[in-house]
Structure 1
Amino acid sequence: MFSIPSLDAVFNAVPPQYDDGRVQQQVLLSREFSQLFPETIYGGRQVLWWCPRCATPWWQADHRLFVLRLSPEQAAYIGHQLHAPMRQDGTFHELPMRICPDCLGAVCVIDTYPGRLGTQILWHTLPDATSTSSRPLPTNLGLVSTTERRASARDALPQAFLFAMAEQTPRESAWSLAQMGDAMLTWQRDLPGELDAVAWQLRWGERTLPPPRADECEPLGAAHLARLAYLIEPLPGMSWQGFLWQPPETLSNALFTHQPLVLLHAALLPQAEPTSIFHLYTLWQRLLPRVFEAAQWDEPLA
């Protein structure tokens, strides 16, 4: 007769198809953050975060939709759907921390590429209350923020920035930089099972990578720019500009990888002000401390 020894044996069991990378990632995410992290139809995941600045939970419903300032009842409802561990009074044992878009003034989406060393970070500045007439979307959940809102012209940093770094596997060794760029913008991404691993990669980049040389780079092509415009549509007079960069293999070896690395830098900037490779690199270096702030990572040491 078939019997189940305990409920723990059910909830902690290895699920079917565990050899599939997506299933493994789902299990790792659930164990790391004690949530289901269900995928959305657009490839993102639902996450219930805790903002240490305003001390309230907020819900990342997708890459472009965020529900902020949740009441205890709303947070408990969403937490129940995501199977986040709750006490009897409806409060949570612990939620992963991320500064909410309202406190940060921007949306910061941090992903990894499954199956390889690699990171993609999308930063999108949100307007302040006095620089736009847009209003929060009506909802019975709370304040909703979307990445379609306009950025303030007074922001010193670009309206949007995308940084990506990925290993080039032996199977991809014959690919051109343009082909790697296509892949980096279309590969299935996921929230990392361990956010500290992303912080370590970024610390390495901040400390080790010198400014790019022109002979190591090439500008983004039309297909790359179209993909970026799909992520965040440029306003009139704005356009995506960027480049692909393959640093020398000696720098890749410093990251303890035997595979070459490819980096992508892109920013949403005024069309009338064409930018340079060095300027985009400098913009990313200026933005990096704010990414660490958003994710509550320690600043890179000098």
Structure 2
Amino acid sequence: MFRISSLDDVFNAVPPHYDDGRVQQQVLLSREFSQLFPETIYGGRQVLWWCPRCATPWWQADHRLFVLRLSSQQAAYIGHQLHAPMRQDGTFHELPMRICPDCLGAVCVIDTYPGRLGTQILWHALPDAASTSSEPLTTDPGIVTTTDRRSSARDTFPPAFLFAMAEQTPHEGIWSLAQMGNAMLTMQTDLPGELDAVAWQLRWVERTLPPPRADECEPLGASHLARLAYLVEPMPGMGWQGFLWQPPETLSSALFTRHPLILLHAALLPQQEPTTIFHLYTLWQRLLPRVFEAAQWEEPHA
């Protein structure tokens, strides 16, 4: 005889198709961020952030589609769509924190590779000229930013930078570095559910990872550069440059990974100024504190 033993069995039921990894990730993200976190046609997820610097909510779908400094009505509209917990007055109980692109001067997209230890970070500086909009929110909002962007130390960074780090699983052990690079640029990514784990990985990169040696690296190929150009299209005179790097396994062991690590560094730079492996490594180490700032990751306690 069919029987429901309690209401808990209904409201805490396992979602349909929970054995699918993508569904599991959806559930974990919803619990982590207290909102639905739906996927978009652009390959990202919708998320409603709170910027602690300008004290306003902002909405993001991917690195090209976001709306900043939402009005109360806009935030309530999006929050309702995403099932974010709201009070009766339309304000939110709690939203995940991320410095908004307008305050940061760049879009910082932090993703993980589900099912393995790995992180992909895209840093894309905003143009100096931007437009504002006070129009009501439409069903297809585009990039909306504010003006008064002043030059600062961030101008010394490349317009765009991509860093990726991923475990090379056993079935990928026979792959070349170039093949792993293609995989890292095309593998499914998702905004992280375990933010502390990602912060710990990047602290390891910042403090433990030594400069690369030439015999551990190889330059990015045409297929890699084409994929990067899809993420951020170069302006005339600019081009993506980068390299793939397999550090010694002793360094992977320091991160307690079971498999070898592969890293990818790439930056959008002037085409007439070829870069070096060490220069790109140095650029990324200088940019890392800005990534921690964007994600509001504090120094871990001893």
TM-score (ref. length: structure 1): 0.92
Unpaired runs of at least 5, structure 2: none
- Cα distance in 2 for partners of 1:279, 1:137 equals 39
State the one-letter code of the partner of 1:266: A
- Cα distance in 2 for partners of 1:202, 1:193 equals 15
**How big is the shift at 1:63?**
2.8
The residue number in structure 1 matching 2:131 is 135
**How big is the shift at 1:4?**
8.3
The 1:137–1:261 alpha-carbon spacing in structure 2 relative to 1, beyond 3 Å, is farther
Per-residue CA deviations over 1:250-300 (Å, capped at 9, x if unaligned) read 000001112000000000000010000000000000100000000001247
Are 2:131 and 2:144, in contact at CA under 8 Å, matched by a contact in 1?
A: no
State the one-letter code of the partner of 1:218: E
State the one-letter code of the partner of 1:140: P
The residue number in structure 2 matching 1:35 is 35
Alignment of 1:260-279 (within 5 A): 260-279=260-279
The 1:280–1:299 alpha-carbon spacing in structure 2 relative to 1, beyond 3 Å, is farther
Percent of aligned positions that are identical: 83
Per-residue CA deviations over 1:214-244 (Å, capped at 9, x if unaligned) read 0000000000000000000000000000000
Alignment of 1:106-117 (within 5 A): 106-117=106-117
1:56 aligns with 2:52: no
- Cα distance in 1 for partners of 2:137, 2:203 equals 37
State the one-letter code of the partner of 2:136: N
Are 1:206 and 1:300, in contact at CA under 8 Å, matched by a contact in 2?
A: no
Alignment of 1:66-215 (within 5 A): 66-128=66-128, 132=129, 134-136=130-132, 140-141=136-137, 145=143, 155-215=155-215
Per-residue CA deviations over 1:80-105 (Å, capped at 9, x if unaligned) read 11011111111111000000001100
SS at match of 2:77: helix
The 1:239–1:137 alpha-carbon spacing in structure 2 relative to 1, beyond 3 Å, is farther
The 1:153–1:219 alpha-carbon spacing in structure 2 relative to 1, beyond 3 Å, is farther
Query: What is the root-mean-square deviation in Å for CA atoms of aligned residues?
Result: 2.4
The 1:57–1:171 alpha-carbon spacing in structure 2 relative to 1, beyond 3 Å, is same
- Cα distance in 1 for partners of 2:171, 2:288 equals 31
Per-residue CA deviations over 1:8-64 (Å, capped at 9, x if unaligned) read 544432111111110000000001111100000121000000000000000002331
Unpaired runs of at least 5, structure 1: none
- Cα distance in 2 for partners of 1:145, 1:12 equals 38
- Cα distance in 2 for partners of 1:107, 1:253 equals 32
**Bigger CA drift: 215-224 or 291-300?**
291-300
The 1:276–1:262 alpha-carbon spacing in structure 2 relative to 1, beyond 3 Å, is same
State the one-letter code of the partner of 1:18: Y
- Cα distance in 1 for partners of 2:11, 2:160 equals 41
- Cα distance in 1 for partners of 2:298, 2:133 equals 34
TM-score (ref. length: structure 2): 0.92
- Cα distance in 2 for partners of 1:170, 1:248 equals 17
